[in-house]
Amino acid sequence: MQKIIVALAGQPNVGKSSLINAISNAKLKVGNFSGVTVDKTEVVFNFCDEIKCQDYEIHIVDLPGAYSLNDYTIEEKVTKKFIENQDYDLIVNVVDATNLERNLILTTELLESGSKMVIALNMADEAKKEGIYIDEKLLSEILGVPCIKTSASKKEGIQELQKAIVEVFKKPCTTSKIVYSDVIEEEISKIVDFFREKKYHCKIPLNKIAIKLLKEEKKIYKKMHDDPIWIELLPIIRQSLNHIYIHYGTKDLEEIFEDERLAFARGAAREVMKIEQNRRKTLTDKIDDILINKYIGIPIFLFLMWGLFQLTFEIGAIPMDYIDIFFSALGDKAKEIFPGEFGSVVADGMISGVGAVVMFLPNIMILFLGIALLETTGYMSRVSFLLDGFFHKFGLHGKSFIPLVTGFGCSVPAYMAARTLKNEKDRLLTLFIIGFMSCGARLPIYVLFTAAFFDESIAGNMLFVIYVVGALIGLAAAKVLNLVVFRGEDEPFVMEMPKYRWPSLRLLWHTVYSQAKMYLQKAGTFILAASVLVWFASNYPKLPELEKSYELKIEKVQSEGEKQALKNELQAKLLEDSYLGRIGKASEFFFEPLGLDWKLAVALEAGLAAKEVVVSTLGVLYSLGETDQTSNSLKDQIRKNIPLPTALAFIVFVMIYLPCFAASAVFTKEAGGVKYLLYLFIFTTTTAWILSFITYKAAGVFLS
């Protein structure tokens, strides 16, 4: 006869004693836990597994009621010490079904222990009387452990509970799971990735080690301290903790993880529980009744996003002209200081290219500030919950919302944020769709074209439309991929529901500053190099004979207008015969059905490196032909040289095609191989070409 030792844990007044008494033929042993005057009740009973024809002797140790595994009371100390140090086979967590959310807080702590576990949803009959209905099967899927409805008073669910104890005992390892907020999950992933790169092996699961390290548990620190890997691991832990401190505005890890457990418990309870009877609502409940209302919740969210894009365009446009004037003056000064070819590369290559990107820094900062505000207040988690049902229609997970909305800022952290999706199918599908959410690097392109073709009064609205259309295309693509490629069962959704907070100024500053810094670093390094490369490719090879023939023509002409026309014609021919022109001409056949000329083709190809380069490339290309003093900005050149149907097709292509090199590299790593990047390239390029073609033809008909 096999012996099973069970630790019976739960908060006070959840009916643990009643549950023990409900077990027929129970043999009770009453004593004290060592060193304290707290009662120790142990129950012993036999259970026969009829299928396996095997008998079990089950010992249940009733632990003192504890609201959490802290050291505030003697009971909590005893329970915590037993869970952490004693030998037992599994935990039975008794939960009051009439107060699920509060009880799940202790449940999350028990799940963190990594022990095998069964949850008894006790007082299920009382919950039903109060109009509380719990989907125990869904809760089992969310938590990864069996959840059994029981009623100690009516002796209901007792046999099911006994069977579940034996079944879990026979399993080789625990399947329990708890999902933290994206900030914590991201840091857990960093530590786990490091362990995997070092091929570190341990009996404890790597993610459990990472959680214990982030919680600064002394035992794991002592264990890891003597390991050679510790020297490299310590800086990673420090960096992770600093990120967590900044996000939460405190260095109290106990408080941070208490908030995490509360948020997870609240989210899980909301997902599996329905309450028919009215009860007194908290302020959070009252706010949630409005913000995640099934009728007005989504319109409120769309209004907030519309407002964000209005601010992005309206306020961001104010400093743009001044930045443009500054870089133009700087370019003229560079030509005075450095005459000849070197002056041209500095002014038309370096300064013009970088300036075209830096000009949009205010827009980027406003966009990131808006997203950070929505995240830090706790609103983003509510939107995920709100959109879960809507997303499921397209095959996406409700939690996909966080990486998707992060994609509006930058695709790199968005791809990393998809790690919070534990189901492989949901994660891959989300990764493939993130690119359809226009990142901040695409914003300069949209702002440039909307400013060129639309009045300032509606430019912000057009910007909002572009982002919404891109997102809708992404959802449609998700539906297609879900039906054709990523088939499989949906994973149950639980989104942690953090309490509403006033936004932390320090966190907002950290978010906006770090993103702006990254943007400027790209402008000052990669984009600078790309701009110089584009300048070189557009200025070479030199054609002295062609230049000489045009100089003779210009000398013979008397009219200033005719001279100007010949100069423009010369520059157009030089550009067309340059290396850049040859590359554009070679690929023009692919883009020609979309109404795009070789210049726009080159800009799109340069955008594969970084989307910001599209603007700087256009700046270099069109500034070369600019000799009219009245046309002193890039948007004027865009308006003059590109028809509106072509511009719309160009925007659609930018909206959909492959993200930058950096994002593509992260996608490859997160998806699991280069083959997925190839699939993404084929999928996005094909989709972009087809939709751009439709846009060009439709716009040509309606605007003719």
pLDDT of residue 629: 29
Q: Is the pLDDT of residue 342 over 70?
A: yes
Q: Is the pLDDT of residue 58 over 50?
A: yes
Q: What is the pLDDT confidence band of residue 432, given thresholds at 50, 70 and 90? A: very high
pLDDT of residue 704: 64
Of 18-27, 38-47, 317-326, 552-561, give the lowest mean pLDDT range: 18-27
Q: Is the pLDDT of residue 72 over 70?
A: no
pLDDT of residue 628: 31
What φ, ψ does residue 6 adopt, rounded to 5°?
A: -115, 130
What φ, ψ does residue 54 adopt, rounded to 5°?
A: -135, 140
* 698 vs 47, more confident: 698
Q: What is the DSSP string of 517-576?
A: HHHHHHHHTHHHHHHHHHHHHHH-S--HHHHHHHHHHHHH---HHHHHHHHHHHHHHHHH
pLDDT of residue 241: 92
Q: What share of the chain is helix, strand, coil (3-state, %, to 5)?
A: 65, 10, 25
Instruction: Answer for the pair 62, 9: CB distance below 8 angstroms, yes or no.
Output: no
pLDDT of residue 70: 77
Q: Is the pLDDT of residue 281 over 70?
A: no
Q: What is the pLDDT confidence band of residue 681, given thresholds at 50, 70 and 90? A: very high
| % of the chain surpassing 90 pLDDT | 12
If you average pLDDT over each of 92-96, 125-129, 310-314, 455-459, which comes out highest?
92-96
C-alpha distances (whole Å) from 674 to each of 424, 483, 590, 611, 668 are 17, 23, 25, 21, 6
Strands 273-275, 132-134: pairing kind: antiparallel
* 362 vs 688, more confident: 688
Look at residue 437 and give its three-state secondary structure: coil
What φ, ψ does residue 42 adopt, rounded to 5°?
A: -125, 135
State the average pLDDT over residues 658-664. 78
**Spatial separation of the C-alpha atoms in residues 497 and 378, rounded to whole Å:** 7
Of 42-56, 322-336, 390-404, 609-623, give the lowest mean pLDDT range: 609-623
State the average pLDDT over residues 62-85. 82
Q: What average pLDDT does the chain have? A: 80
C-alpha distances (whole Å) from 80 to each of 4, 65, 73, 143 are 20, 11, 11, 21
Of 268-282, 513-527, 533-547, give the lowest mean pLDDT range: 513-527
* 452 vs 40, more confident: 452
**Spatial separation of the C-alpha atoms in residues 673 and 22, rounded to whole Å:** 54
Q: What is the pLDDT confidence band of residue 630, given thresholds at 50, 70 and 90? A: very low
Strands 117-122, 90-96: pairing kind: parallel
Instruction: Answer for the pair 119, 107: CB distance below 8 angstroms, yes or no.
Output: yes
DSSP 8-state symbol, 73: S
Q: Is the pLDDT of residue 159 over 90?
A: no
Encoded tokens for 215 = 């919680």
Encoded tokens for 78 = 């005893």
Other C-beta atoms within 10 Å of 170: how many? 14
pLDDT of residue 690: 94
Instruction: Answer for the pair 555, 564: CB distance below 8 angstroms, yes or no.
Output: no
Instruction: Answer for the pair 357, 612: CB distance below 8 angstroms, yes or no.
Output: yes
**Spatial separation of the C-alpha atoms in residues 119 and 146, rounded to whole Å:** 6
Instruction: Answer for the pair 609, 598: CB distance below 8 angstroms, yes or no.
Output: no
**Spatial separation of the C-alpha atoms in residues 104 and 102, rounded to whole Å:** 6
**Spatial separation of the C-alpha atoms in residues 695 and 697, rounded to whole Å:** 6
**Spatial separation of the C-alpha atoms in residues 211 and 677, rounded to whole Å:** 31
| % of the chain surpassing 70 pLDDT | 87
String of b and e for 317-350 (b: at least 16 CB within 10 Å)? beebeebbeebbebbeebbeeeeeeebbbbbbbb
C-alpha distances (whole Å) from 499 to each of 364, 385, 512 are 28, 14, 23
Q: What is the pLDDT confidence band of residue 27, given thresholds at 50, 70 and 90? A: low
Other C-beta atoms within 10 Å of 204: how many? 11
**Spatial separation of the C-alpha atoms in residues 611 and 605, rounded to whole Å:** 10
Of 11-20, 89-98, 113-122, give the lowest mean pLDDT range: 11-20
* pTM of the model as a whole: 0.56
Q: Is the pLDDT of residue 643 over 80?
A: yes
State the average pLDDT over residues 514-533. 71
Q: Is the pLDDT of residue 282 over 70?
A: no
**Spatial separation of the C-alpha atoms in residues 318 and 362, rounded to whole Å:** 9
Q: On the CB side of 560, how many CA atoms lie within 13 Å of its CA? A: 2
pLDDT of residue 654: 93
Nearest in space to 211 (alpha carbons), one of 113, 89, 103: 113
Q: What is the dihedral of CA 299, 300, 303, 309, to 10 degrees?
A: -120
Strand (E) or helix (H) holding 56: strand 54-62
Q: Give me the amino acid identity at 236.
A: I
Q: What is the dihedral of CA 484, 486, 491, 493, to 10 degrees?
A: -80
DSSP 8-state symbol, 350: I
Encoded tokens for 297 = 């919740």
Strands 2-10, 54-62: pairing kind: parallel
**Spatial separation of the C-alpha atoms in residues 519 and 613, rounded to whole Å:** 12
pLDDT of residue 30: 52
pLDDT of residue 277: 57
State the average pLDDT over residues 332-352. 81
Look at residue 295 and give its three-state secondary structure: coil
Instruction: Answer for the pair 16, 8: CB distance below 8 angstroms, yes or no.
Output: yes
Q: What is the pLDDT confidence band of residue 279, given thresholds at 50, 70 and 90? A: low
Of 81-85, 278-282, 456-460, 586-590, give the lowest mean pLDDT range: 278-282
The per-residue pLDDT for range 343-395, each reduced to its tens digit, is 878 887 788 767 766 776 787 788 778 877 877 787 877 777 777 777 878 88
What φ, ψ does residue 649 adopt, rounded to 5°?
A: -65, -40
* 612 vs 445, more confident: 445
**Spatial separation of the C-alpha atoms in residues 149 and 436, rounded to whole Å:** 44
Tell how many helices (H) and how many strands (E) occur in the chain: 33, 9
What φ, ψ does residue 558 adopt, rounded to 5°?
A: -95, -40
pLDDT of residue 14: 84
Q: What is the pLDDT confidence band of residue 678, given thresholds at 50, 70 and 90? A: very high
**Spatial separation of the C-alpha atoms in residues 634 and 625, rounded to whole Å:** 11
What are the structural domains, with CATH classification, of the chain?
2-170 (3.40.50.300), 182-248 (no CATH), 301-486+498-505+513-541+578-702 (no CATH)
pLDDT of residue 632: 46
pLDDT of residue 176: 72
